[in-house]
C-alpha cells in the first residue's frame, strides 16, 4: 500500500510538472531567436535588388502574417545586443511591407497611407512584445538611441525609391556586423544615392535628416565605406570636397 501511494504521488508530481512546463512554453512570450526561414523565403521570392514585388507579397500575405505573428511572440529582452538589433530591424522592414499591403495596389507612395494629421510612421499597428506601437517607435525610440549605430539607416527600409534598398535577407544576430557593413557599402557605392561630381559629393538626404547620427561628418562616413575610385578620390581631395543633398524619391519601391 505504501508503495502504491508513493507511485501515485510521483505520478501526480510528474503530471503537474509537465503541465507547468507546457504553460510556461505557450503562455509566456518566446525568448529565443526565431527561425527566419519564412521571411528569408519571402524576401528571396519578392525582392530583387531592392525592387519589391508587392503583388507577389499580396498573394503570399498569409505567410507574411504568420511571420509577423511569430515576431509578436518574441520577448526580445533576454536576447543579445546583436540579436535585438536584428530583431527590431526585421520587424521594421516586415511591418513596413505589411503597411503597404493594406492599401495595395492603390498605393503610389507610402505617404499615401498617412493623413493630414498623422504620418504612416505614426500609425499604431505594429504588434511586438505584447504592445501595439508605431514604426517611428521602432526606429527613433529603440533602434537609434539603444544601438547608436548609423548603419541602421541603411538597414531599415521605408518602401521608397529614395531609401536604401531593402536587403535581400533577414538580419541575423550572429552575422549582424557583416550584414550591416554589406548593406552600407551597397548603398554608399550606388551612384543613384551617392556620387562624386567634381568637388561636390552628392549624397542621400538621409545624411541631412540624421546628421547627428553620422557625427556631422558625412564625408568621413562615405569615405569609410566607399570603394575603388570613389574612395581614392575622396581620400585624395577630402579638404576641397563640398556636400550637397539629392532630392528624396518617395515613389513606391515596387517593380
Residues 239, 244, 248: CA angle, nearest 5 degrees: 150
Q: Looking at residue 101, what is its pLDDT?
A: 98
Return mean pLDDT, the chain: 91
Which parts of 47-150 are beta strand (E)? 47-48, 51-52, 126-128, 131-133
Q: Which of 67-76, 110-119, 156-165, 176-185 has the lowest mean pLDDT?
A: 110-119
pLDDT tens digits, 101-138: 999 999 999 999 998 789 999 999 999 989 999 999 99
User: In this model, does residue 58 exceed pLDDT 80?
Assistant: yes
**β-bridge mates for residue 47, sequence order:** 52
Burial of residue 204 (number of CB atoms within 10 Å: 0-12, 13-18, 19+): buried
Assess whether pLDDT exceeds 50 at residue 241.
Answer: yes
User: What separation in angstroms does the CA of 255 have from each of 46, 48, 68, 160, 190?
Assistant: 10, 9, 23, 11, 18
Asked if pLDDT for residue 92 goes beyond 90, the answer is: yes
Is the pLDDT at 3 greater than 90? The verdict is: no
Does the pTM of the predicted model rise above 0.85?
yes
- The percent of residues in the chain predicted with pLDDT above 70, rounded, is 87
DSSP per-residue codes, 128-167: ETTEEE-HHIIIIIIIHHHH--TTHHHHS--SBTTSPPPP
Region 183-210: what's the mean pLDDT? 98
Percent of the chain beyond pLDDT 90? 84
* pLDDT confidence of residue 255: 75
Q: Which residues pair with 244 in a beta bridge?
A: 202
pLDDT of residue 48: 94
Whether pLDDT at 26 is above 50: no
* Predicted confidence (pLDDT) per residue in 33-46, tens digit: 568 999 999 999 99
pLDDT for position 21: 41
Looking at residue 24, its pLDDT comes to 42
Amino acid at each position: 500500500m505504501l508503495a502504491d501511494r508513493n507511485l501515485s504521488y510521483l505520478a501526480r508530481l510528474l503530471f503537474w510538472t509537465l503541465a507547468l512546463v507546457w504553460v510556461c512554453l505557450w503562455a509566456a512570450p518566446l525568448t529565443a531567436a526565431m527561425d527566419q526561414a519564412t521571411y528569408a523565403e519571402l524576401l528571396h521570392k519578392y525582392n530583387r535588388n531592392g525592387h519589391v514585388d508587392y503583388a507577389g507579397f499580396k498573394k503570399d500575405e498569409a505567410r507574411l502574417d504568420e511571420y509577423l505573428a511569430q515576431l509578436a511572440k518574441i520577448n526580445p529582452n533576454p536576447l543579445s545586443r546583436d540579436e535585438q538589433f536584428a530583431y527590431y530591424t526585421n520587424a521594421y522592414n516586415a511591418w513596413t511591407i505589411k503597411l503597404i499591403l493594406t492599401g495595395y495596389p492603390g498605393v503610389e507612395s507610402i505617404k499615401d497611407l498617412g493623413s493630414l494629421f498623422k504620418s504612416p510612421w505614426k500609425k499604431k499597428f505594429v504588434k511586438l512584445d505584447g504592445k501595439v506601437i508605431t514604426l517611428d517607435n521602432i526606429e527613433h525610440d529603440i533602434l537609434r538611441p539603444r544601438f547608436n549605430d548609423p548603419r541602421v539607416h541603411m538597414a531599415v527600409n521605408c518602401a521608397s525609391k529614395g531609401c536604401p534598398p531593402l536587403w535581400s535577407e533577414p538580419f541575423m544576430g550572429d552575422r549582424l556586423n557583416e550584414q550591416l557593413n554589406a548593406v552600407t557599402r551597397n548603398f554608399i557605392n550606388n551612384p543613384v544615392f551617392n556620387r562624386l561630381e567634381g568637388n561636390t559629393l552628392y549624397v542621400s538626404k538621409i545624411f541631412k535628416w540624421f546628421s547627428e547620427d553620422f557625427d556631422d561628418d558625412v564625408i568621413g562616413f562615405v569615405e569609410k565605406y566607399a570603394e575603388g575610385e570613389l574612395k581614392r578620390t575622396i581620400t585624395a581631395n577630402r579638404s576641397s570636397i563640398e556636400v550637397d543633398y539629392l532630392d528624396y524619391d518617395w515613389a513606391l519601391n515596387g517593380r
